[in-house]
Amino acid sequence: MGMGFVKLKDWSQRRSPDLSAWAVQRRAMGFVSQFRNAMAFVFIPPAITELGTSTGFDFQLLDFGGVGHQQLMAARNQLLGMAAQDSRLVRVRPNGLDDVPEYQIDVDWEKAGALGLPISAIHSTIAASFGSAYVNDFIQSGRVKRVYVQADAPYRMLPEDLLKLYVRNMAGEMVPFSSFAQGRWIYGSPKLERYNGFPSINIQGEAAPGLSTGDAMSAMEQLSRRTSQGIGFDWTGISYQERLATGQAPMLYAFSIFVVFLCLAALYESWPVPIAVLLCFTLGVIGGVLAAILRGLPNDVYFQIALLTTLGLTAKNAILIVQFAKSGVEKGMDLVEATLEGARLRFRPIVMTTLAFGFGVLPLAIASGAGAGAQKAIGTGVFGGMLASTTLVIMFAPLFYLLIQRRSRKRSNSVRSQKPGKIEGVE
């Protein structure tokens, strides 16, 4: 197994779309897929280099039920087969090596204990004989050199040489290794893989073109539930961070809207009036989502930042109209007349703000070069949301305010009419 890194030329020398990193990756993947004696994959490094080795998702298949290594490998092969047929996933691959022949040593620990052999002595004897062990220093020509011990090459070439070793017990006697241990050939993993203490197999992959990593992660979760009983899954690296952020997003959005509602309630000194502003939130979201869909952009973190910005600007436009309409009503104007007057007076400031902000983010929406993906996501979401919010808020914000106020007045009148009146007595 090996890994190589390819450094692309500067952006100024790769103007053509077929020279982008994704285009180069697709062509290189088509080339290496023709290899017959090896499995080769070409992938782009992750956005955060410290979290994982490639872009896409980082999946851990876990043996929660203790079903064993063979069952875990069977579940891995089953999962890879299902992922290869799923249109939502591409380049799904195991991050590691297949099972290889291994020589396993079975130690009879009861017999070793009866012979007075500590576990540390058994392990250190094997490690020093077939590997090496540092034991001391010596001085030669004024330089300090280290001494390593190891069995001579002819005596550590075959598995049977292991049984020729002797281990010193607690009494200082040399006990032959063959008296308490036996060896046998098995077929197993070349490295010990664990995740959170459970036997695991790391699987990496990417989402199909036009889909986000969240879609790919959902697909992997669905497929993994169809594997053997006792086999679970978990996320690691950047996928783990993404899953945490995805789980917190709804709560953060709800909390943000709740805080905005409380601030507006304190501003207007009314509970129903802020609802008219909150109803306008969806108007800006519609524009941002449609713009992203038309350009084929995924719902990533950059697009969510753009939606948050759009929500704030949409609420600002609605607040301007509602504030002027409420002020007119407090001055004695009719509700409909005050609402229309507020929309008419704030039309020009809203349009000016929208044009200024929209043209300000337009370079982001049409950006190219390094970092263009994040800039396009933010610029497209904000620009589309601003166009929709300006067009729709001017029409619907007065309507929402009018409906909320009429509903509030009807409810207040009905509550007043249900209160018992005073009865004056006659002497």
Q: How many CB atoms lie within 10 A of CB 350?
A: 21
How much is the pLDDT for 423? 46
The pLDDT of residue 415 is 56
Query: 101-188, what's its fold?
Result: 3.30.2090
Rounded mean pLDDT, 256-268 = 84
Please say if the pLDDT value at position 413 is more than 90.
no
What local confidence, expressed as pLDDT, does residue 346 receive?
82
pLDDT band at 167 (very low <50, low <70, confident <90, very high): very high
Structure tokens of 353? Answer: 């703000």
Q: Are 107 and 244 in contact (CB under 8 A)?
A: no
Strand 133-140 and strand 194-195: the pairing is unpaired
What whole-number distance in Å separates Cα of residue 360 and Cα of residue 215? Answer: 32
Domain ranges of the chain: 15-42, 45-96+193-240, 101-188, 270-409
Query: CA–CA separation, 200 vs 183, rounded Å?
Result: 26
Q: Which two tokens stand for residue 261?
A: 């509602």
Confidence at 271, pLDDT banded by 50, 70, 90: confident
Mean pLDDT of the residues in the chain: 84
Q: What percent of the chain is modeled with pLDDT above 70?
A: 95
Mean pLDDT of 178-184: 89
* Strand 100-107 to 181-188 pairing: antiparallel
* 45-96+193-240 and 270-409 have identical folds: no
Please say if the pLDDT value at position 412 is more than 90: no
Q: Check: CB of residue 111 under 8 Å from CB of residue 121.
A: no
Q: Read off the DSSP letter of residue 41.
A: -
Tell me: the pLDDT tens digits for 204-232? 888 888 787 888 999 999 999 988 888 99
Looking at residue 286, what is its pLDDT?
87
pLDDT in tens, 374-399: 888 888 988 988 888 888 888 888 88
- pLDDT tier for residue 334 given thresholds of 50, 70 and 90: confident
CATH architecture of 270-409: Up-down Bundle (1.20)
Q: How confident is the model at residue 420 (pLDDT cuts 50, 70, 90)?
A: low
> Does residue 79 surpass a pLDDT of 90?
yes
Q: What is the pLDDT of residues 299-331, one digit of tens each?
A: 777 888 888 888 888 888 888 888 888 888 788
Residue 22 CB coordination number (10 Å): 13
What gap in Å lies between CA 53 and CA 242, rounded to an integer? 15
Compute the average pLDDT of residues 269-293.
Answer: 85
DSSP state of 37: S
Whether the predicted pLDDT of 426 surpasses 50: no
Task: Report the pLDDT value the prediction gives residue 414, as an integer from 0 to 100.
Answer: 64
Please report the pLDDT score of residue 13 as a whole number.
84
Fold type of domain 45-96+193-240: Alpha-Beta Plaits (3.30.70)
CB 201 within 8 A of CB 96: yes
- Predicted TM-score (pTM) above 0.75: no
Q: Residue 417's pLDDT is what?
A: 61
Q: How many CB atoms are located within 10 Å of the residue 63 CB?
A: 21
Dihedral of CA 290/295/301/305: which sign? negative
User: Token pair for residue 237?
Assistant: 């690296």
